[in-house]
Structure 1
Amino acid sequence: MGHPLSNYGTKMFAELQMAIAETYGVETASRMFNVEPSVAQELNDAITHQADFLERINIVMVTEIKGQKVFLGTNGPVTGRTNVKTTDREAVDVSSLDDDTYELSPTESDVSLSYAKIDAWAKFPEFHAKYSAAVQRQIALDRIMVGFHGTHAAQQTDRIQYPMLQDVNKGWLQQLREKAPAQVMSSGKVAGKVTMGAGGDYANLDALVHDAKQLVDERLRDAGDLIAIIGSDLLAADKAKLYAKQGSTPTEKERIESAQVIATYGGLPSFSVPYFPANAVKVTSFDNLSIYVQDSSWRKQTVDNPKRSRVEDYNSRNEGYVIEQLEKAGLIENVEVLEDAA
């Protein structure tokens, strides 16, 4: 027998249902309804605010399920001079015409909250905000997970077989592997892995990040906005090495934490991002990564399910992952830290 929803919890959930219906301009939230595009934009903004990483990249509302990329950047210089006495001035097309389209996939984010949790939250005046934030935060984290781990969009997804949501959509890393394999390094001296440490492919993380930057098209390499996203295992190995060398006093440790570990590697500002593969480094710019959402596709329903002693929040929309300029990304993956690296 599950935890029954208390009378007060029932009352608060009923008020929540009415508030949701009012927010979205529908009669009841317990039946599936279409979210108006303007409100879908607000909902996407709320989800984006749940994760710092999502606030740094592009979350784009588009009208069509297939179409042209929104932020096609330039792939080279446009400045020069023409002798107009003999030659017409010619405008240069510098967009990346080889890969300028996107396609979205149906995506479901269905979140359940137990009666026990609803009862615990019902005591707080900000119950509605707590509930909404819990749903939005999970969708935000899932979006990041799919972006870094998604390899394909299955007709029927399987979270048991693919716990990192690999089958929900093709994420940024998979698109780079498929569309620009020359910009992905996954093997070094030893097939199937890249080694870091004494005697390895790279002596340290600085050298590895430097080479990841070299995978970016040279015309875009020094634009000034490139960053490195570094996996947690590689950061941990570098931190351990720094502690071993310098970490004898609390002040030294503090300096290592704040200045050297997540600051700059290979000359690039470096970041640790949730769910990024622990043994990889990706170099790109934040504004080169996008998630596209069809503005008219969001559907929502919030229901009480006493059979499972829980409340269920159903959300579906068409969305997809986009690298705006493939040439502006480099990836080194399958990195193995050698024992003596630390």
Structure 2
Amino acid sequence: MRLDTRKLFAALLGRLASTYGVASVEQQFSIDPTVAQRLTDKIVEQATFLPKINVIQVDELKGQNILGYANAPVTGRTDTTQAGKERTPRNVVGLGSYGYELLQTNADVAMPYRLMDAWAKFADFMERYARYVQQRMGSDMELIGWYGTSASADTDPATYPLLQDVNKGWLQYLRDNLSGNVLSEGATPGEIRIGATGDWANLDVAVLDLQQGIPQYMRQGLVALIGSDLIAKEKSALYAAIGDKPTEKALVAAGMTTFGGLPWETPSNFPARGIVVTSYDNLSIYQQSGSWRRQVVDNPKKDQVEDYNCRNEGYVVETPEKMVALEFANVRLPDGAGGWE
């Protein structure tokens, strides 16, 4: 690390210590819950999908879901003129059926001296450092949310580069709690085919059909989350159908605002062949209040700065009945030669 960089880094350490109210951030410290919430907010801001869902502080490591959608209607009528008849309010918030469990989650970010030296050329050195750490953490939270299937005591990033073994994500939560809402196959065992001769001819039909798996009274605010491979194949089929007509090609892109009557998006880090129908507010990440630990280390043995973060975290589908999904690993698309890939 160059001398000018080291001076800036020393100032950064001082600023962090002041922010967290500690003597030094070079020794592990516990982050005050209020400050931890602000840090979480900054991480969420650096992501593209996280700002749309719930990131919530909770007190307990295990418990029942905090947010819930009514799992049945409440409107009716009671003839109170009859003996023994009285109005009985119904508790229909499905908080008793589904729970959460938070697990220790480490997010340790290394920044080589050469990267620190490059940042030193800019006036916003401290902001660049903070953004880098926050972006890495936010991106990982999205990856775990979509790909996480287990929580290993000793994670293996070489074997599971999409962080499948760090924690159970939203799709795994649905598999565990309401497996019938994760479609794993169509007419062909072990496969879901989307294409002209497949289980669904196109994305409109697929999304419309998946919506039927959600109770009618839960369909407010639904959105279709669709993988990039599926969007690319849909566009390709439409372009092939209209030929070389520039004006109509422009209309294709402009016209793809909904699928199956729902607004859609391809979230960052979302499975390329995935489809999920739910509402944004049905997806949550819980963090235990007071669990965040942090330490910043200058490690000359590796020519890098290391930012260690640890907190207890879990991924929750608030109301599983309000989410349906495809088993993205089983989705097959036309290969152009009459088969499926």
Work out whether the TM-score is over 0.5.
yes
Instruction: Provide the aligned C-alpha RMSD in A.
Output: 1.6
Q: Give yes or no for contact 1:284–1:329 (8 Å, CA) kept in 2.
A: yes
Aligned partner of 2:97 in structure 1 is 99
Secondary structure of the residue that 2:24 maps to in structure 1? Answer: coil
For residues 248 and 59 of structure 2, the distance between their equivalents in structure 1, rounded to whole angstroms, comes to 53
1:136-175 CA-partner distances (Å, limit 9, x unpaired) = 0010000000000000111111101111100111100011
Partner Cα separation in structure 2 for residue 159 and residue 337 of structure 1:
29
Deviation string 1:313-334 (CA, Å, 9 cap, x unpaired) is 0010000000000100001222
Take 1:241 and 1:312, find their aligned partners in 2: how far apart are those partners?
A: 48
1:319 and 2:324 matched: no
Identity %: 46
* Paired position in structure 1 for 2:281: 287
* In structure 2, C-alpha distance between the alignment counterparts of 1:246 and 1:83, rounded to whole Å: 62
Distance 1:203 1:304, change over 3 A: same
SS at match of 1:49: helix
Q: 2:264 aligns with which of 264, 270, 274?
A: 270
Report the Cα offset of residue 251 of structure 1: 4.3
Q: Match of 2:156?
A: 158
- Whole-Å separation in 2 of the counterparts to 1:231 and 1:75: 29
Separation in 1 of the partners of 2:334 and 2:48?
A: 32
Aligned equivalents of 1:309, 1:230: Cα separation in 2: 41
Verify: 1:48 aligned to 2:47, yes or no: no
Q: Write the distance in 2 (CA, Å) between the matches of 1:258 and 1:315.
A: 43
Flag the 1:97–1:21 CA change in 2: closer, same or farther, 3 A: closer
Matches within 5 A, 1:132-171: 132-171=130-169
Q: Is the 8 A contact 1:212 1:281 kept in 2?
A: no
CA distance in 2, matches of 1:267, 1:276: 21
Q: 1:218 deviation in Å?
A: 3.4
1:99 offset after TM fit, Å? 2.5
Does the alignment pair 1:17 with 2:10?
A: no
C-alpha contact (below 8 Å) 2:98/2:177 kept by paired residues: no
Structure 2, unaligned runs of 5 or more: none
Indicate the larger mover: 34-43 or 245-254: 245-254
Which 10-residue stretch deviates more, 189-198 or 323-332? 189-198
Deviation at 1:339, TM superposition (A): 2.8
**Cα pair 1:197 1:339 within 8 Å, conserved:** no
Show the counterpart of 2:171. Answer: 173
Shift of 1:45: 0.2
Corresponding residue number in structure 2 for 1:189: 187
Partner Cα distance (2:168, 2:300) in 1: 36
Could you tell me whether the CA contact under 8 Å between 1:72 and 1:100 is conserved in 2?
no
Q: Match for 1:128 among 101, 126, 129?
A: 126
CA-to-aligned-CA distance 1:13-62 (integer Å, 9 cap, x gap): 11111111111111111111000000000000000001121000000011
Deviation string, structure 1 residues 166-201 (Cα, Å, up to 9, x no partner)? 011110001111211111111111111100112211
AA at the equivalent of 1:183: N
Change (3 A) 1:97 1:44: closer
- Separation in 2 of the partners of 1:259 and 1:292? 37
| CA apart distance, 1:108 | 0.5
Q: Match for residue 60 of structure 1? A: 56
- The answer to which of 64-73 and 295-304 deviates more is 64-73
Distance 2:246 2:19 in 1: 51
Deviation of 1:84 after TM superposition, in Å, equals 1.2
Deviation at 1:110, TM superposition (A): 0.4
Match of 1:259 among 255, 258, 263: 255
Long gaps (5+) in structure 1: none
1:31: which partner in 2?
27
* The one of 316, 331, 338 aligned to 1:335: 331
SS in structure 2 opposite 1:273? Answer: coil
Match of 2:228 in 1: 232
Aligned counterparts of 1:317 and 1:255: Cα–Cα separation in 2: 47
Distance 2:140 2:227 in 1: 18
CA distances 1:189-229 after superposition (whole Å, capped 9, x unpaired): 111110011221111111111122122233313x2x01110
291-300 vs 77-86, greater mean Cα deviation:
77-86
CA distance in structure 2 between the partners assigned to 1:8 and 1:27 by the alignment:
23
CA contact (8 A) 2:64 2:96 kept: no
C-alpha distance in structure 1 between counterparts of 2:270 and 2:213, whole Å:
19
The match for 1:73 is 69
Task: Give the alignment's TM-score, normalised by structure 1.
Answer: 0.94
Q: Distance in 1 between matches of 2:177 and 2:243?
A: 43
Q: TM-score, normalised by structure 2?
A: 0.94
In 2, Cα distance between the equivalents of 1:152 and 1:313? 25
